[in-house]
Amino acid sequence: MTMPTLLPLALGLLLFSFFVTSVFIVPFINLLYKFKLTRKKEAPAKGKIPLFDILHDRKAGTPVGGGIIIILIVLGLFAFLFPLASRMGVYIRSSYNFKIELFVIFFTFVSFGILGLSDDFMKIFGKPKQGSLGLWFGLTRRKKFLLQLLLASAIGYILYSLLGINIVYLPLFDNIIRLGIWYIPFAAFVIISFSNAFNITDGLDGLATGLLIICLTAFGAIAAGNLDTPLSSFIALWLGTLLAFAYFNVWPARVHLGDVGALSFGAMLALIGLLTGNIVALIVIGGLFVLEAVSSAVQILGWKILKKPILPLAPLHNTFLAIGWEEPKIVMRAWFAGIMLAIFGLWLATI
């Protein structure tokens, strides 16, 4: 299979998944309303209302869990269309062992989704706990991190032991670093970091979804250049569902991804970077996710060391919201920045 023959397959899968998602998305949103899977107000009933709640509690009542339909449609369409394409004579080429590559893709996609879904259910139906900065909803940070560590370590083991990946390529220096067994904790760190970074970024209508579409477009080109049919097909199906979902996720959002989508999609984006061997490109292409995570870390350090906040509100998109920028303005400018970072990262991946 060559690039010209892989491209029609990927584009066809993208269009088909877009159509299927467009058909089911509105009934699914209504289903979320029916089961009361909607965002709750997080402001305390008495006392001073935190700035975060002032800015975001107007989103209360919006359905949460849009990531569920995206995961289900991508899984269903891949299971149906990929074998069909193979029977119709499409030559399947994989960069790794075909079955193991598919397993690690869908294990990551589903396992982090289940983790996020459990967090969503606890946020919506569980009782809030008193945290250091106010009420805390959902899984505790420690429990969530331990579960993420367990899943990410298992994925790192599969990449290292079963797929034989143990290197990091530095494009500007044309240098390869062989990590050996240390690749497992390295991969786990990358996966956990991007899973949480995506979750942190998913705070404004359309912000994380739009940035992910931009990132996947760049990585779709990289995967197609590597002639990796399974990964290219997966990215194409995922892009189609995200484009249909984004119509209902932009401001004012009719549905949010929820942690089921955020944790899964961030981990999956990291896995794509690991599978394509473009970690540096991943950091650049997903640069805004990285920046959002860093801004949150800086804010936490400020509270712990200086006993005061460094930013008006973290993460970074909330800082712009706090100083008076309108939500659509923040999102659109983030998309433009994301496009330029994606072009830069794509260039790094091809030199």
User: Measured in whole angstroms, how far is the alpha carbon of residue 330 from the centre of its chain?
Assistant: 19
Place of tokens 């760190």: 189
Mean pLDDT (the chain, rounded): 91
The answer, yes or no, to whether residue 130 has pLDDT greater than 80, is no
Average pLDDT over residues 76-85: 88
Instruction: Give residue 225's pLDDT.
Output: 87
pLDDT score of 258 more than 60 = yes
Residue 133 has pLDDT above 60, yes or no: no
Structural domain boundaries, residue 237: 3-350
Q: Assess whether pLDDT exceeds 80 at residue 122.
A: yes
Contact status, residue 17 vs residue 74, Cβ threshold 8 Å: yes
Contacts of 53 (CB under 8 A, 6+ apart): 41, 42, 43, 44
* pLDDT at site 238: 98
- 138 pLDDT band, cuts 50/70/90, is low
Q: Are 276 and 219 in contact (CB under 8 A)?
A: yes
Q: Give the pLDDT band of residue 43 (cuts 50, 70, 90).
A: low
Of the chain, the end-to-end C-alpha distance in Å amounts to 22
Q: Which of 49-53, 159-163, 189-193, 234-238 has the lowest mean pLDDT?
A: 49-53
User: What pLDDT score was predicted for residue 226?
Assistant: 85
What is the total count of domains within the chain? 1
In the predicted model, is pLDDT for residue 198 greater than 80?
yes
Decide which of 57 and 22 is more confident. 22
The predicted pLDDT at position 81 comes to 86
- The C-alpha angle with vertex 269 and arms to 268 and 274, in degrees rounded to 5, equals 90
Nearest to 169 by CA among 281, 268, 73, 258: 281
Flag whether pLDDT at 1 surpasses 70: no
pLDDT of amino acid 4: 58
Taking only the tens place, the pLDDT of each residue in 300-343 is 999 889 888 899 999 999 999 999 999 999 999 999 999 999 99
Q: Which tokens in the block code for residue 36? A: 């009361």
pTM for this predicted structure: 0.94
